[in-house]
Structure 1
């Protein structure tokens, strides 16, 4: 859909609508801003999961 946004991990750019292969896309996101922060959000989640794993060990 053209009203969804994706973060392209290969180019580092936000795309409006699905323009490239799924292999390099994160999303969809409802806004351009949300897509721009996709890597930050994924990094934060990963760090939280790593911390939880350390606490569970």
Structure 2
């Protein structure tokens, strides 16, 4: 999620979720953020830590 450019629905399918909505609900339940918010947060963190 952090480094790939695949759309969230494609990531959800590749990870075995039945739909992107199912993955979104799992992210919210376990991590407290949506997959899109997770991706955004960690991409920004990676850019700040890059040399």
Q: Which has the greater radius of gyration?
A: 1
TM-score with structure 1 setting the length: 0.36
Pick the structure with more helix per residue. 2
TM-score by length of 2: 0.39
More strand by share: 1
